[in-house]
Amino acid sequence: MFDDLNDIYSVFWADLRNLKRHWQPTVAGSLVLPLLYLAAFGYGLGRNTTIYGVSYLTFVIPGIVALTAFSTSYEGSSFKLQVDRIFYQSFDELLLSPISLGSIVAGKSLIGLIRGLISAISIILVGVIISPMLMISPLFIFVLIVSCFVFALFGVFVALVIDSHQRMSTFNNLVIVPMTFLCGTFFALNQMPDAAKAALYTLPLTHSSECLRASALGQPFPWLSLMALLGFGLIFFVGSVVALKKASV
């Protein structure tokens, strides 16, 4: 167990080193879009609107936190991994080292987790200043950590399964971008038709949005969604290990 943790940190070490060197542009870049969403949807469109007894601004902030956690964690673990694997082929360095595939997957996801947390916490800080009603409880922090980890594993999985930059770009346009808007980030899913709602519950960001919003607004907590989120994490982890095994066939 200790050896595995050591291996996971060793895999993470190179990405951490890189983040330390470039942390300012990396963090600043990941904050631009969420802050624009906050300005456009929160202040621009929803300033005078209330939903479920709270202002739309208060309602939308947990969704934007979920969106930030999702996009930054996913991009943080997928982009460099795919470039290193396909373009530079430097990912072979990991495959040639005497560590387990599980440690490689976990280690490569940690950079997404850390980047997602940094960006999401920055948005939370902005959020609690402009909307003091938000409750940042231990449960909220726990869900945020789980969300970032699951989304980072999702990024690792996608980077290992998709074999070209072109397909990656297509996948991002067809799946990732719609997810950021539709998974309960900017509106409550109750407003959606049943079929659309059922489809959206098959996506991890929906469950993350519901959990973060419920804990931030003091609503009944959707424990089933938390279980679903953990289930997605397990699926992405196992899927990534299988993808690595298949890569050597």
Partner 1 sequence: MKEFVLTENLTKRYGNVAAINELNLSINQGEVFGFLGPNGAGKTTTIRVMTTLTKPTSGSVQIGGFDVVKNALKVKKVIGVVQQHLSFDRDLTIRENMEFHARLHHLRPTERKRRINDLLDYVELSEFADRMIETLSGGMKKRAAIVSSLLHKPQLLFLDEPTAGLDTQSRRRLWDLIRQLNTDGTTIFLTTHYIEEAEALCGRVGIMHHGQLISLGTPMELRKQLGLVTVETLVDNKKTHYQYFTDRSAANLYAQSLPPETKTVIVRDSNLEDVFVEKTGEKVGDT
Contact positions toward partner 1, by CB under 8 A?
Answer: 6-7, 10-11, 13-14, 17-18, 21-22, 80, 84, 88-100, 248-249
CB of 24 to partner 1, least distance (A): 15
Residue 34 CA to its chain's centroid (Å): 13
CB of 90 to partner 1, least distance (A): 5
CB of 12 to partner 1, least distance (A): 10
> Whose CA is closest to 238, among 150, 112, 162?
150
Looking at the Cβ atoms of 6 and 202, the one nearer to partner 1 is 6
Task: Produce one character per residue of 169-192: b if its CB has 16 or more CB atoms within 10 Å, e if not.
Answer: eeebeeebeebbebbbbbbeeeee
CB of 71 to partner 1, least distance (A): 21
Element (H, E) at 57: helix 56-82
Looking at the Cβ atoms of 91 and 157, the one nearer to partner 1 is 91
CB of 247 to partner 1, least distance (A): 9
| Angle at alpha carbon of residue 151, lines to 213 and 215, rounded to 5° | 15
Would you say 147 and 69 are in contact if contact means Cβ atoms under 8 Å apart?
yes
Looking at the Cβ atoms of 55 and 100, the one nearer to partner 1 is 100
Looking at the Cβ atoms of 26 and 55, the one nearer to partner 1 is 26
Looking at the Cβ atoms of 128 and 161, the one nearer to partner 1 is 161
How far apart, in whole angstroms, are the C-alpha atoms of residue 76 and residue 15? 10
| Tokens standing for residue 164 | 């070209």
